[in-house]
Structure 1
Amino acid sequence: MKKFFTWYSEKVTNKPKQVLLVGILVSLIIIVVGFSFGGALSTKTMSVGSTPADKAAKIVTKHFGSESSGAQAQIVLKAKNKLSSTSNQKIQNEIESRASKIKNVKIVMSPVMLKNYAQGQKVGYFTVIFKNKTITTKQTNQLKEIARKFGSSQLEVELSGVSSQIEVSELPEIIGIIIAFIILTVTFGSFIMAGVPILSAILGLVTGLGGVFFVTKYFEVQSYDLALAAMVSLAVGIDYALFLVARFKEEIRKNERKQALKNTVTSTAPSVVFAASTIIIALLSMSALGIDFLGVMGAVSALSVLLVVIITLLLVPSLLYLIPIKAKSTDQHKIRPAEFFAKIVHKKPWITIVTMIIFILLVSIPLKNMNLGLPNDGSKQKNTTERRAYDIKQKAYGAGNDAVLVAVTRNKNEKSGVSLTEKITKINGVKTVGQPTPSADGKYLMVSIIPKTEANDNRTKKVVQNVRNIQGKNLNKVMVTGSTAMNIDISNKLLGALPEFLGLITIFTFILLMIAFRSFLIPLVAVLGFVLSLAATLGVIVFTVQEGHFEGLLHLPGKTAILNFLPVLVVGILFGLAMDYEVFLVSRIREEYLKTGDNKQAVYEGVRLSGGSILAAALIMISVFASFSFTDEIIIQMMGLSLAFGVFFDALVIRLILVPSFISVFGKANWYFPKWLDKILPKFNIE
């Protein structure tokens, strides 16, 4: 790799304008092709393959085919006076008439038909069943028009179950870029040098998204896949450019421009490639779980990161060579914020280790209560029609109103229906049980169940489990389906896959770092640090998102279950980011150790000299990720917050404090590596 970048540095210094032009042309081609000829984002519901609920759903479709097979929406009404009044009945008739005229509506069932008046006849809802399986944006807009027309101070009209494609706003990226520019200006003491990473990152981001949009032509890519690709690409794009600019700033103080750039490319570009490779491999490894939507999510983010790295390495070196940067101006601002971390590690490493581990463990305590689920209308912002409809129904009908379960079993004999109903009724957490319905061919029985708790509540999960465990001489195996049961099965499958994925990632980490640093202890500390930062990150997410603390400050909608694929996502991405900081910090410590042979001093100098860039990079990452909390989509909010907290714990606590503290106390043992193993393993120079 060093040979390649030596050759590349010659090309950049000899023909900087041509290299810059190549970078711009590559970017423009990908952008034009992606946005002009790519596909569209998918709105399909995610799936993890065959689950018990899926199998039961196939039986229901085959043997009970009913009106409920299409997509459903609800028009929720809350009146000041009784809905049964003459004036309100007239409005309901008009709502039913207008809703029936929407294209592909199969049937509209009124509150009177459904007998669902509640709260003294002041609350009720229509159920609109469509022929299509997914409600379209056009159908949603038509329903919203009905709600706007008939809603008034006397009658609140809200919607539930409508299409709500996640919108990827540009505002978080803009906020992140502004904050990044401020941090870079302070770090480099120059607007011009601060502008290089920003310019490169913006072009890299758009290029990466162009690549993602092109992929949508061939694969199902969700809106939150695009959001994830955007936040990761913007953050790493700024970070990798930052490390190149920081090294150039250091080199140009000692060398003339041409040599300074050569040294920058040959010394820093390999580390950038290595760091990017860890993120890309971590993202691609999500496909090893065998869950299609996670594989696609990881793959499109990996593609975006790859394109960002290519654009960064084409643009940044040529821009640094061409822009008018004076050596003197780069030496005016010697800000060493990492001096604080270096002194902590140098003076009392054992006390630092114990303190930081206790801190991480305390922060991780809420993790034991983590409840995985899939966000529903109750997870939306309080000013949305879906959230208002959800709150009205929760108060009027109970928490389990939107968590209907469907139990299915073979019709063994004439006593099967009665036996099934009796056993379900006795289960703790069940509110009501419908009458058993036989299939047309008489082979199966179907029973609807309304639990006392909402869809993501752990008590609802226990109801599903207990219904599936029902046994009796008049009963065959009882299956449970419905959207609630499907989401519970998805969450269980993802939670079951987490230990396997975490094990895969940690083993890969250990081997990769062992090859890079020719050490046993350093990879071991890196892996343990990664596990600690992961626990702390998920602990804080449970504390804020699930338990609802600081919801106003973080722009959260209130208490909600943790997104079921979030832990897997955090493991994959946080691993890649953690290895970035590990590589840049430890390689500098090792460089200082090889110069002096003094381990303790090498740690101090390594943290002091490289810590500033790592701190700036981490603050940029945190700013970019945290800015996504101020969207109105809880899925994107959770992804952004989890990555922001993850970078905080891993970069600031683990990499800048805990890891160098361990290296400091281990002394020369850090660098012990058997000669026979050194000969066997491949060599990879990242310094």
Structure 2
Amino acid sequence: MATILYRIGRWAFRRRRLVGGLWLGVLVLAVAAAALAPAAEEEDISMPGTESQKAFDLLDERFPRGNSQGAEARLVFQAPDGQRVTATENKAAVEDALGSLDGDDQVASATDPYATGAVSEDGTIAYSTITYAVDTVDLTEPTKRALENAAGQARDAGLTVEIGGSALDAEESPGGTTEIIGVAVAAVVLVLALGSLVAAGLSLLTAFLGVAIAFGLVSALAVPLGLTSTVAILALMLGLAVGIDYALFITSRFRDERAQGREPEEAAGRAVGTAGSAVVFAGATVCIALVGLGVVGIPELTKMGMGGAGAVALAVLVSLTLVPALFGFFGRRVLSRAVRRTTPPGSGRPHPVAATAGRPGLGIRWARFVLRRPVAVLLVAGLGLGAVALPALALELGLPGDESKSVETTQRRAYDLLSEGFGPGFNGPLTVVVDLSESKDARATTDLVVRTVRGVDGVESVGAPVLSRTKDTAVLTAVPQTAPNSGETKDLVHTIRGAVSDTAAATGAGILVTGTTALNIDISEAMSDALIPYLTVVIGLAVLLLMVVFRSVLVPVKAALGFLLSVGAAFGVLVAVFQWGWAAELIGIEQTGPVMSLMPILIIGMVFGLAMDYEVFLLTRMREAYVHGASPDEAIVNGFRHSGRVVAAAAIIMISVFAGFIGMNSPTIQTMGVGLASAVAFDAFVVRMAIAPAVLALLGHQAWWLPRILNRVLPNVDIEGEALGRRAPASLTEQDAAKRRFPVGRS
């Protein structure tokens, strides 16, 4: 691999104009495709194979013109203090507001709350359901303004009016102030780490180009593939983070090669051959873990994984080709100012390396500190992460609804008004679907189901059944006494399913419990059930891949256990922030509740690859030194000498980018931002920089042990670029060339 990438790096350096032109052309095509593509619709999460999804599918078949065919809105009216919404003047205000919607071609119907009984028992709150003939994405601005004007008209009459439903739902914008701050922090870290504005700008430029292409492709393919805005934001988040990091690693290695006196083209080739090999492996692990999300069986999760994997793959391709091409364009300006001052242009002698004289760098001092106290460092770091991970034992999964939105939004205020007027379960009704095609007496079966559901403890009310045109399906609505995301409602769903199972067996009818609340419960349980198997697959993959890369058994086991600590601590942070509300106000979270059910598996998939990034970039330098004759302790110090600062900078950059998305108004993106930022912080600074060197120090030579049979069976991917070590460029002395031609190794 190293030899192939070495040739790619040299070719890209020589053909830099062609490479730059090709990537610019791809960018233009992606942007044009995105601009010409129609707007995509935000699809609901589905879970094929679950009872709730089977019921939805049956409803689509038997009720082809159901509510799913169009957008829906709820106008919620509340009378002033001391008044009733049924009072003459208030009733007239409500009817006038609803009457203003007449004549809109997109409005299919608007219910009269006084005719349908949609008035609370105390008479203070009423609601009207407005259904539209088109989906939310197809609603025109005049139609949305008419809805808002109707609410404003009733407010002018003295009523409190809020709007719920999907009609005003808007796609989250991927941009914002916090993301800009995150990128600004990344830029500052790059400048400090590289000592060159040009080198820092190079990393940012390539990352932005990869992200722009990925975002354009996701937007262009949104309609044919059903990609949502969450997929686009995930691609933006991951592409930006890994794009900057990958470019940083290759740029840093290029500068190291130049510091050894190699010519620019040779240095570019070796940088891509060595650091580029690590980039390919790290990117591949992220892609494999993300694509593997498809085995869970949730289409939305599969799309998110594919979109993220595509963005990472683009970041890898850009890093391997455009980055060395830009080395040719920028020349010596990629080097730090100090090096440019001390080395004349065209000089063949090596550049000065600051770490070789004076006080050792922070990375070297830290490595030596760990080597002196490996047991103490291991205990403190391990117990600390274990303590942070303890809240994860209380992890609860769910899907966010209007209750998780900011109280500043009208949807959240409408949710609260409906809960106040009609009970907490009103916002999460359960739908019971009765398939009567095999039942001998449809009416008797339907009545029996209604009586059975009404008799279940925890059911507030059961509506009158609605029959399909062919009388082969009945639908009834059961309102729970508890809120949609509560544990009591989850238990109620299982209780109802158990209660109607006997009825189904006695009558021959098929009885299914569904609705948004039931579907969310089914998805959360499926995620919980899939968590351990998926984690097992990911851990097994990590051990196998690292065994191939590092030719070791214990190093992969250590890496996998460290990954578990990172993920556990990240889950602990999610529980503390999103369930318990610790520091929730600081990041704009106004409502605590279960962690979004997709998050654990999604974070595991992404953190797995990101954790392997730091493992590979730090340990490749250690193994490189070890196979060339260094002692185990010297190899650890060598790894921190060459990679410690770069890995720390890369981690800070990635944390900054992920944290930048915490300020978005989307619970999904906020959760991903907190989870990924904390996971990267724990993995990079605690696991890879404290636990990893402490374990390696305790293991000594055994850390790099590999049984002979595995040594023969496993392929040699040469991620350290040992094959390149046998190449003798003209700038090296004959003695240096001889050393590289016959390296000191171990069997």
- TM over 0.5, shorter chain: yes
1:329 — aligned with what? 338
Query: Is residue 10–residue 268 contact of structure 2 (8 Å, CA) maintained in 1?
Result: no
- Return the offset for 1:362: 1.9
Q: What TM-score, normalized to structure 2? A: 0.85
Which residue is equivalent to 1:46?
45
Which is worse superposed, 168-177 or 400-409? 168-177
Alignment of 1:463 onto 2:463: no
Contact kept, 8 Å, 1:225 with 1:300, in 2: the verdict is yes
Whole-Å Cα distance in 2 between the matches of residues 136 and 18 of structure 1? Answer: 43
Q: Give 1:37 shift.
A: 4.6
Task: Tell me which amino acid in the other structure corresponds to 2:311.
Answer: S
Which among 298, 301, 321 is matched to residue 314 of structure 1?
Answer: 321
**1:238-266 CA deviation, whole Å, 9 max, x = no partner?**
00111112222323333154243333233
* Range that drifts further, 562-571 or 20-29: 20-29
> Is contact 1:581-1:651 (8 Å) kept?
yes
CA pair 682-417 structure 1, distance change in 2 beyond 3 A: same
Aligned residue number for residue 425 of structure 2: 400
CA–CA distance in 2 between the matches of 1:415 and 1:19? 74
Q: 1:140 to 1:532 in 2, by over 3 A?
A: farther
Q: Which residue of 2 aligns with 1:203?
A: 209
Q: Is the 8 A contact 1:165 1:223 kept in 2?
A: no
Q: Distance between the aligned counterparts of 2:285 and 2:43, measured in 1?
A: 30
Mapped to 2, the partners of 1:65 and 1:260 lie a distance apart of 64
Q: Distance in 2 between matches of 1:597 and 1:505?
A: 32
Instruction: Please say if residues 287 and 298 of structure 1, whose CA atoms lie closer than 8 Å, have aligned partners that are also in contact.
Output: yes
Higher alpha-carbon deviation: 330-339 or 195-204: 330-339
1:624-635 alignment runs, 5 A limit: 624-635=657-668
Match of 1:265 among 272, 287, 290: 272
Q: Distance in 2 between matches of 1:59 and 1:310?
A: 45
CA distance in 1, matches of 2:148, 2:693: 57
Residue 544 of structure 1: how far off its partner (Å): 0.7
Post-superposition CA distance 1:593-622 (Å, at most 9, x none): 224442133223323431211111111111
**In 1, are the aligned partners of 2:78 and 2:161 still within 8 Å (CA)?**
yes
Q: Secondary structure at the match of 2:420?
A: helix
How far has the Cα of 1:148 moved from its partner? 3.4
- 1:304 matched to which residue of 2? 311
Q: Which residue number in structure 2 is paired with residue 20 of structure 1? A: 20
Cα distance in 2 for partners of 1:216, 1:444 equals: 34
* Alignment partners' CA distance in 1, 2:69 and 2:5: 58
Match for 2:424: what amino acid? A
Q: Give the aligned length.
A: 686
Deviation at 1:461, TM superposition (A): 1.1
Going from structure 1 to structure 2, the CA distance change for 1:408 and 1:292 (only over 3 Å counts) comes to: closer
Worse overlay, 458-467 or 116-125 = 116-125
After TM superposition, the structure 1 = structure 2 runs for residues 518-537 of structure 1, keeping only pairs within 5 Å, are 518-537=551-570
Post-superposition offset of 1:168? 2.6
Q: How far is 1:38 from its partner?
A: 4.1
Q: Which runs of 5+ in 2 are unaligned?
A: 340-351, 721-747
Q: Is the 8 A contact 1:211 1:303 kept in 2?
A: no
Is contact 2:215-2:235 (8 Å) kept? yes
Change (3 A) 1:441 1:272: closer
Residue number in structure 2 paired with 1:35: 34
Identity of aligned residues (%): 31
CA distance in 2, matches of 1:123, 1:394: 10
Structure 1 CA distance for aligned equivalents of residues 570 and 157 of structure 2 = 44
| TM-score, normalised relative to structure 1 | 0.92
Question: In 2, are the aligned partners of 1:56 and 1:479 still within 8 Å (CA)?
Answer: yes
Per the alignment, in what secondary structure is the counterpart of residue 505 of structure 1? helix
Question: Partner of 1:194 in structure 2?
Answer: 200
- 1:101 aligned counterpart, secondary structure: coil
Deviations 1:526-572 (A, max 9, x none): 11111221121122112111222212111223213322211221111
Write the distance in 2 (CA, Å) between the matches of 1:520 and 1:98: 73
Counterpart contact for 1:350–1:661, Cα < 8 Å = yes
Please give the alpha-carbon distance, in whole angstroms, between the structure 2 residues aligned to 1:137 and 1:565.
Answer: 29
Give per-residue Cα distances to partners, 1:362-410, cap 9 Å, x unaligned.
2222222222222111111221110111122222322211111122445
Question: Among 165, 169, 174, which residue is 1:169 paired with?
Answer: 174
What SS class does the counterpart of residue 74 from structure 2 fall into? Answer: strand
1:430-579 map, 5 Å: 430-435=459-464, 446-470=475-499, 472=502, 478-579=511-612
Is 1:685 matched with 2:692? no
In the alignment, structure 1 residue 10 sits paired with structure 2 residue 10 = yes
Match of 2:288 among 281, 292, 297: 281
User: Corresponding residue for 2:152?
Assistant: 148
User: Is 1:252–1:327's contact at 8 Å kept on the other side of the alignment?
Assistant: no
Q: Tell me the distance in 2 between the aligned counterparts of 1:382 and 1:487.
A: 22
Distance across 2 between alignment mates of 1:397 and 1:646: 41
Measured on the aligned residues, the alpha-carbon RMSD in Å equals: 2.8
Summarize deviations over 1:447-475 as a string: whole Å, max 9, x none. 42211222122221110001001155766
Cα deviation digits, residues 90-123 of structure 1 (max 9, x gap): 2211121123433343321122123233384332
With 165-174 and 616-625 compared, the bigger mean Cα shift is at 165-174
Amino acid at match of 1:85: A
Gaps of 5+ in 1: none
- Given that 2:577 and 2:583 are in contact with CA atoms closer than 8 Å, whether structure 1 keeps it comes out as yes
Verify the 8 A CA contact 2:398 2:595 in the aligned structure 1. yes
Could you tell me which amino acid in structure 2 is paired with residue 154 of structure 1?
G
Check whether the contact 1:282–1:576 (CA below 8 A) recurs between aligned residues.
yes
Once residues 135 and 5 of structure 2 are traced to their aligned partners in structure 1, the CA distance between those partners, rounded to angstroms, is: 53
Alignment CA distance shift 1:22-1:333 (3 Å): farther
Distance 2:369 2:459 in 1: 56
Q: Which has the larger radius of gyration?
A: 2
Contact 1:402 1:455 in 2 (8 A): yes
Task: Give the conservation status (yes or no) of the 8 Å contact 1:173–1:231.
Answer: no
> 1:441 offset after TM fit, Å?
6.4
Q: Which region of structure 1 is more displaced relative to structure 2, 333-342 or 211-220? A: 333-342
